[in-house]
Each structure stands twice: as C-alpha cells, then as structure tokens.
Structure 1
C-alpha cells in the first residue's frame, strides 16, 4: 500500500521543516518506522530526518530524475517502512520553471508522480479568514493534486484556529495547529539550517519537538491520510535492483565534515556490486582498503585544523591517487583535495594537494542552482563532450586551475553559461557539481569498471 504523505508549505519559512521533523519524531515515539524523503537537492534537512528517524533520508528530484526513477528511488527506500514522510521544497508549486504548470523539481510535481496526498502548512500569524482563502487557492490551483490536510502554524489561540477552520468550505482535514514557540525554531546560517552535528542539545530538542507535535497535531488523522493511498508498483526496474555485479570496494568519506550525499548514489553503487566502506578524514589515520574513493560535500571549512593535522590520512589519499585507482570528489571533497583552504578569517590550512588549486571561503554565494554539464575531458564517469545534469551550491571559490584540465563546461545556475569548472587528471575527477547517479546510470557503472581494472 506504500502509506505516504508530503508535507508542503505555502512558501519558504512557514515552519515546514520543523513540523516535518516533529511529525517524524512523534510517529517514531509511537513505534512507527518512518522513512524520510526530501524534495529537491537539499542535504541539511535530510540530516535532521535521518537523525530523528534512524533511517537515511533520500532526495526526490524531478528535474534530475525521470518519473520512473523517482518511483524506483521511493520504493527502494520505503518498501520495509510503515510510513513515508516527504518534506517539500519552497512553496508547493515552486520549482525550476515558472508559468502555469508546476515547475520541475517542485513539491507538486513529486506529489503527482507518486500520487501523494499533501498536508499543507500555513503560517496563520496575523491572519484570519485570509488563511481560508489561501488554503482554497492552493488546493484548487491544480486539480491533479490533493491537499488532504492542513496544519496551521503560529496560531494565537483556540479561537483563532476555530475562526479559520469555520471559514473553510472544502473537504480538507484540519490536523491541528501550533502556537508560536521560539524554543522550537531551528538555527540557520549560510547554507540554510545549521547541520545536525553542529546543533547543540539536538536529542533534547528533537524529543521536545516530537512531544509538542504529539500534543497539538492529530497523529491518527495524519496516519489515516497516509494510509489512504494506492500501491506503487514497478515491473521492470531500470536503475535500482540490478543483476549486474562488479565486486569492488568503495571508500566513502563520511563524518562531521563530509556528509552531503545523494544516498541513492550509494544504494546504486551497492546494487551494482560495490561494497561501501565509510571512513572519517578527521578521525581515521588512513584509508580503508578499497578500489575506489568517493568524497562528497559537506562543511570541511568547519573542521580545517583537524583535517590539516591528520597528516597520515592525507598521505594515504595521495598514495591512493598515485596508485591509479579512481577518485571522485564533489564540492567539499574538491576543496579537501586542493592545496589549501583559506577560511573566513583569511587563515590558510593545508589540505591533500592532489588538486592544484587553492580554495577561498567567501561571504558571498558563488554558485547556486541546477546546471547542465558538458565534459571537457575524458574522466572516470564520462567521455569528453557528454552531457549530464547536476546541482551546485557553495560559498567558496577555487583559483589556480587550468581550464584545459577542467571537469565540465557548465550551463545554468548562478554564473555565465559555458564556464569551465572542476579538475580532471587521469584517475581523478573533482568538481563543485553534485551528480545523482540516477540521472545517468552509466556513470556508476563506468566508475566501478575503472575500479575493477585497477584492483
């Protein structure tokens, strides 16, 4: 039956993430196994999902992935759980494209693909009947989606809540309301929310939030909406659940500094026969025995002294590179493999040094958004002049690279079209661009074949 709901907001900042996390925690307190998801390319929100549910959150992105692959991703992660909760992105209808149709990557589009009932979060502060008009608009704008329930945030009193509820003329479940509570606001900084590992007293906060949601929201109604869904079935899987197996070991950097991954990428590599071995560039003294190395994004700039001081780890990564085995790095991984990272206070820290450039942290957003990437050189994932799609979001910039050794020419996002980005040298591919292997399943297959040849 695949019980599922999508929690969407009327816009960013209405409390969607806080309520989503609280719902996940409150249901888990009831002994319900929750599988979390996030619409779009965000990595920080899924960290909170994972923390509170104990299950790794997956990204559902209709710009990067075909409809069938989204269904595969959803079923692959959720098949053994009791309920799936998908957190939306921005406002319900906001995506990459404007116009009369929901944009690619929007919450509404994901709701259509997976036939998910929507629970809409409305910030009702300083509103009365206008909140009812807003609910009417969001629920009737697109007849192909179902707004099945509503949660009102920042409600001043029971009377305020009832006033809005009485003004609504549609058959939509009111699931409860949340009074304003400053203690439950999540802190933010330059990439959005402060990540889980930097949030103080997180377990206590999660428990308080879950209890708060249980007190104010009708969880049985939420479960009822989730259960009133059709089963999703796939006859012929195209990306997940593959029969092809390539027996190789893949070392994946995973700790406080590096934890921004599309977890589907790790699932896909595992499905193809790759054995994922996690390690910490901060704490471990050397790489695990492996045939390929994958360093994702994160916040290396927050742990520069620790990364610089771990000389033995940096040495083993250099040796791994010199052995000819494939190394794939994204964003924070690119920065870690560079000569040095200069922090926000202009203090330099020496990094691995196999990418010849230097990375400087800035207060200004350097790149953000979806991009189309054309390979400028043969690399461990693609041949020259091939195209793929990805996403970039970073406040740092790298200097000292030769565009003849770039990874891609990028089109879209923030920055001029056709800009050279990243670094390729033999068995190394490093770039600011995050790729989802479900976009092009040939990418992980080529990586594993390369790893097998260099075993």
Structure 2
C-alpha cells in the first residue's frame, strides 16, 4: 500500500460564482513563480476548470469525482490513488471544489467537495465574496465551518474586497468565526473569466489569459499569506491507497482520439485507464484533418461542436472516413459533443441543415435551455460495446442540445431522483450518447472497449 506525505489544500466556497477558479489560478501562478512543483485537481465532473489549471502549470489537471469513481470504499480509494500518484514528488497539491462546498446529489452532500475533502483528508480554505458585507461575513464563515463537525474548513480568503475594508474587518472576521484569514484578492473586473452555456469559456479561447494570470499573480503576491497557506497544507495527514492488481497488456491497440477546438472534454485519468489496458492514444482533428489516422478504435469526446458546425460540415472527407470506419466495424465511443457530430445533420438556429458524419440517422440542434444536468446511472437494456445487458455504470450529463435520435439501448436513472429516460445509441461496436463516463470508475468498461479494438485489429489484418 503506497503512502505519501503530500501537503494539500482544497479551495472551496459557499456557492458557485464566488471566485474559486480565480483564486486557484492565482495560487497556481504564485507557485509557478516560486518554481514550486505543484499538482492541480478538480472536485466533480467539470472539464473546463482543469483546462485553466493546465494553462497555468503547463501540466495536466485531474478530476476527483466520488460519483463517477464510486462512493464506496474502492471509489474513495481510487480518488486517493489519483491524488497520490499525481501528487507524489510534488511540493503541494491544490484541489478546487465544485459548486457550494456541501452541495452534492439532490438535497444531500453525497459526492460533494466536502465528501471529497473527508475522503482524502484535505484541509479546506473557504473563498468568500467580500462585496456588500461587513460583520455578516463572519456569520457565513462560522456557519460554514460549524455546519458539520468534520468540515475541515480551517481558513478563508476574501475575494473582491477593497484593501481598506479587509484591513478594517480582518480581526473581527477571524475572532468571530474562529478561522484564520489567509488574505484577500481585490476586485479586478479586467481579470474575470467569461462564461457561456456550459460554464466558463475554455482557457484556449481567452487571448489575454497570460496577461490576466500575470495581474492575478501580482495582486496575490501582495495580498495572500502564502506561508500560512503552506503551513496549513502541511497539516494534511499522510495519504495511502491500494494499487490495482493488473497484468500488463499483451499488446497495444491504436485508439484515435478527437482533440481540437471542437472536441476537448476528456478526463486525464480516464485516458490513463485506457492506456493501462493497452491503448496507444492517437490524437486527430475532425476539424482540420482530412481523414482518420491508422487506428483500431475511435473515441469522440465532448466539447463545443456547435460552435464549429460549418467547418465540421465542410470537412466532408473526415466525415466519410469516420462513417466508413464505423460501418466496417471499428469500435467507437462518442460522448455528448462527439455523439452530436455522428448525426446525419446539425440544425442551425435559422433552420439550415448542415451535413455531419452521417452515422446516426437523425439531427441534433441547440435548445433554449438545459436539457439534462447531473449524475446518472446507465443500465444496459441489451449487450453493448461497454456494458453487458443488465449491468450499470455511472455517468454525467450536461447539455443544452437535443437530438431526434437519443437512443434507447440503456436507461438513464438520475441520481437523487425518480426520473429516468432512454439513452445511448448502441449497435454493433458503437456506443454513443450524451452521458460522459470516467473509465477509472468503470475499468471493466475500459477492458471491453480496448478488447473490441483488439478484435477489430485482428479482423482487419486477416
């Protein structure tokens, strides 16, 4: 059982919009300036915040999601393993919370940032918005820390507050809440990150991101108590986990993975799980490349294909290449944006129909609101590429688009609710639908996927 001493902190908040990502990027920028080796992690299923982490550190950022990985002991152990593996040899790990600290499934705290902090033994710093509040801020801090006896909340950072206001109220906030202040960030309107329908815009879309990070780093250097934060991080207990008992794969298969502006939503450790079963990941671009690379399987992840609908439609040679490969029996997993791309058509808001990959008979389109949002459990109604009939896997949905062919090979059960609906187009070696999955939480699915790729390679080599 590996054990590592990993100083670590979770940055959490009472609600979304408090500035967690801004504070985390500031901390990572300060660590970079100090040449301090850091690892970054994100609580929950979000893809976009880790992109910001990666742009600051120039290293991958990893998701720790106790629903997708599993809320049982093996799932908690997997979360500790991901944290420990990537944090080992690092001087500190920074974990970014999701939504409100205690917000989990339904009305409970299951799979929340709080539950993750408990599972990993991570001290918590609470980010609070300092605008329009004085002593009441202490009540918020005290209430958050005392809401659960094992809250692990030990300090706070006040965001968007004037320096004079912070200096005036700091002692009152500390005295009344019993928590230590670790500094503040002033209101910096020119350093905000824009949003769209799936949350923040991706880091690669912000042309002046490096300038924003520089300004945040300059502000944080003057206003954050870095030595106190490092001291708090070092109070984290040693981290232990079990390594899975896996035999080395006999051979490798070439798995083409879509990675460009339109398709960019992947969990890094999910990809590592595919590698552990023998996948060599071959990146390609449905936007810019003319055809698939030489490969034995295809993975089309999520993203924003609707923003590049015209360009995807114009690249007819790539559409034909994908269509032909799938019709020949190539295993294909398509999630959300990748699922959308496989449709015959994309319907624009003006009604225009753009031809897409032509694998799934139907059309996809953007709607006026959020269609499905949250965790689901998928149960296979028939044997599929990833799941045998009757078996289940955990997944996450978050999309504003709709489809005339959402599929019915699985039933999706919404976590914390009685709602259910048909999902997944599965025929032959195709598994396509809106749900996102994390292979670290369902290694048997990864084994089936790569096994099918291996079988396809044998067939095409005959």
TM-score, length basis structure 1 = 0.93
2:400 matched to 1:395? yes
- 1:367·1:415 contact (CA, 8 Å) conserved in 2? no
For 1:142 and 1:245, locate their aligned partners in 2 and report how far apart those are by CA, in whole Å.
49
For 1:281 and 1:407, locate their aligned partners in 2 and report how far apart those are by CA, in whole Å.
26
Of 414, 436, 439, the match for 1:434: 436
Gaps of 5+ in 1: none
Cα RMSD of the aligned pairs, angstroms, is: 2.0
Of 204, 208, 212, the match for 2:215: 208
Instruction: Give the equivalent residue in structure 2 for 1:224.
Output: 231
For 1:283 and 1:91, locate their aligned partners in 2 and report how far apart those are by CA, in whole Å.
39
Instruction: Give the equivalent residue in structure 2 for 1:118.
Output: 124
Tell me which moved more, 4-13 or 89-98: 89-98
Gaps of 5+ in 2: 70-74, 458-462
- 2:9·2:93 contact (CA, 8 Å) conserved in 1? yes
For 1:78 and 1:450, locate their aligned partners in 2 and report how far apart those are by CA, in whole Å.
33
**Structure-2 change in CA distance of 1:324 and 1:407 (3 Å):** same
By how many angstroms is 1:152 displaced? Answer: 0.6
How many residues align structurally?
Answer: 447
**Structure-2 change in CA distance of 1:320 and 1:80 (3 Å):** farther
For 2:365 and 2:395, locate their aligned partners in 1 and report how far apart those are by CA, in whole Å.
23
Matched residue SS, 1:133: helix
For 2:203 and 2:165, locate their aligned partners in 1 and report how far apart those are by CA, in whole Å.
36
- 1:39·1:86 contact (CA, 8 Å) conserved in 2? yes
Instruction: Give the equivalent residue in structure 1 for 2:460.
Output: none
Of 316, 322, 331, the match for 2:327: 322
**Structure-2 change in CA distance of 1:162 and 1:246 (3 Å):** farther
Instruction: Give the equivalent residue in structure 1 for 2:68.
Output: 64
Structure 1 segment 270-349 matched on structure 2, within 5 A: 270-349=275-354
By how many angstroms is 1:34 displaced? Answer: 2.2
**Structure-2 change in CA distance of 1:148 and 1:297 (3 Å):** same
By how many angstroms is 1:400 displaced? Answer: 4.3
2:31 matched to 1:22? no
Instruction: Give the equivalent residue in structure 2 for 1:178.
Output: 185
- 2:387·2:445 contact (CA, 8 Å) conserved in 1? yes
Tell me which moved more, 139-148 or 14-23: 139-148
Instruction: Give the equivalent residue in structure 1 for 2:414.
Output: 412
By how many angstroms is 1:206 displaced? Answer: 2.1
Instruction: Give the equivalent residue in structure 2 for 1:41.
Output: 45
**Structure-2 change in CA distance of 1:245 and 1:13 (3 Å):** farther
Matched residue SS, 2:220: helix
User: What is the CA deviation profile of residues 78-132 of structure 1, one whole-angstrom value per residue up to 9, with x for unaligned ones?
Assistant: 2243321111011111111435xxx112111110011001011011212111111
Matched residue SS, 1:85: strand
User: What is the CA deviation profile of residues 341-395 of structure 1, one whole-angstrom value per residue up to 9, with x for unaligned ones?
Assistant: 1233433221111111210111211111111111122111111221121110111
Tell me which moved more, 299-308 or 205-214: 205-214
For 1:291 and 1:213, locate their aligned partners in 2 and report how far apart those are by CA, in whole Å.
48
Instruction: Give the equivalent residue in structure 2 for 1:382.
Output: 387
**Structure-2 change in CA distance of 1:376 and 1:138 (3 Å):** same
For 2:106 and 2:248, locate their aligned partners in 1 and report how far apart those are by CA, in whole Å.
37
2:98 matched to 1:89? yes
Tell me which moved more, 336-345 or 38-47: 336-345
- 2:344·2:357 contact (CA, 8 Å) conserved in 1? yes
By how many angstroms is 1:43 displaced? Answer: 1.0
- 2:343·2:363 contact (CA, 8 Å) conserved in 1? yes
Matched residue SS, 1:340: strand
2:267 matched to 1:262? yes
For 1:218 and 1:168, locate their aligned partners in 2 and report how far apart those are by CA, in whole Å.
14
**Structure-2 change in CA distance of 1:416 and 1:133 (3 Å):** closer
2:155 matched to 1:152? no
**Structure-2 change in CA distance of 1:414 and 1:353 (3 Å):** farther
- 1:7·1:20 contact (CA, 8 Å) conserved in 2? yes
Instruction: Give the equivalent residue in structure 1 for 2:72.
Output: none
2:202 matched to 1:195? yes
For 1:311 and 1:399, locate their aligned partners in 2 and report how far apart those are by CA, in whole Å.
22
Structure 1 segment 72-87 matched on structure 2, within 5 A: 72-87=81-96
User: What is the CA deviation profile of residues 231-262 of structure 1, one whole-angstrom value per residue up to 9, with x for unaligned ones?
Assistant: 2122x3238x7644541111111111111112
By how many angstroms is 1:267 displaced? Answer: 0.8
